[in-house]
Structures are given as structure tokens and as C-alpha cells.
Amino acid sequence: WDVRVLYDGDCPLCVREVDFLRRKDAGRGKLDLVDIASARYDPSANRGIEFATAMSTIHGIEPNGDVITGVEVFERAYAAVGLGWVYAFAKVPALLAAANKAYDFWAERRMEVTGRGSLTEVLELRRR
């Protein structure tokens, strides 16, 4: 795989994006898509990224083990499936910074927007 994407499988919008990427990958294995909401999620298999950390923003892992976050994950994933042009703007530092601010705004609120409560509530439910 070109990039492992750690995604929130309980987020309907996240799942929609991952399903789109999975279809574009078409079984070529360019993406390794890991659902952090799964009971089988194992931080030790994912550079030690705990559930709470993974829930704060999207994380990706490169084949060499480097961890990436935010819009860079999308840029790598889309490039891996032949759609690099979609995130070509991410090569411009100022545009990447602006996109990351917008994404962080969304990531912070996605649980409430999708009717799942706050991150604190989701983490408490997971702990139980």
C-alpha cells in the first residue's frame, strides 16, 4: 500500500469518503484502510496511535512508518488512487495551512454534526 488511512468508521461522512476511495482503489491495494472505531482496532499495529488520538484528526501511516495527519492524508490517499489533482493545492504551503484549519474545524465538530455527541462522550462510551 502507498498509505494506510486511519478513519472513523462510525462517522457516516467519513465512511462515505472511504467507500469512494475504496472504489477508486478497485482492489489494487494502494490504500490500507483501517477503521479505528472497530473493536479490533489495534494501536500497536498502527504506530501506537491510540483511539483518542486517532479520533482528534485523520491519521495516515506511510510505508516507511512516518505518521501524517490532516489534509496531507487525503492528498496521499487521492494520489494513490490516481486522483492526485484533487488535492494538488496541498503542495502550496499557504493553501495547505488554510485547508488544515478548515479540516480541523470540521474534525472537531463531526461527531455532533453526525448526531454522536461530543468527543468526550464518544471516548467515555468507548472506555465502558
C-alpha pair distances (Å), 58 with each of 36, 47, 101, 128 = 10, 14, 13, 23
Span 3-36, pLDDT tens digits: 999 999 999 999 999 999 999 999 999 999 999 9
> Does residue 81 share a domain with residue 39?
yes
C-alpha pair distances (Å), 110 with each of 7, 27, 79, 119 = 12, 29, 24, 9
Question: What percentage of the chain exceeds 90 in pLDDT?
Answer: 79
> Does residue 66 share a domain with residue 49?
yes
> 128 pLDDT exceeds 80?
no
> Does residue 111 share a domain with residue 73?
no
For the chain, the domain total comes to 2
Span 48-98, pLDDT tens digits: 999 999 998 999 999 999 999 999 999 999 999 999 999 999 999 999 999
Residue 85's pLDDT is 97
CA distance 124 to 126: 5
Contact 40, 11 (CB under 8 A): no
> Does residue 53 share a domain with residue 19?
yes
More confident residue, 61 or 110: 61
Residue span of the structural domain in which 122 resides: 92-126
CA distance 67 to 54: 11
Residue 117's pLDDT is 84
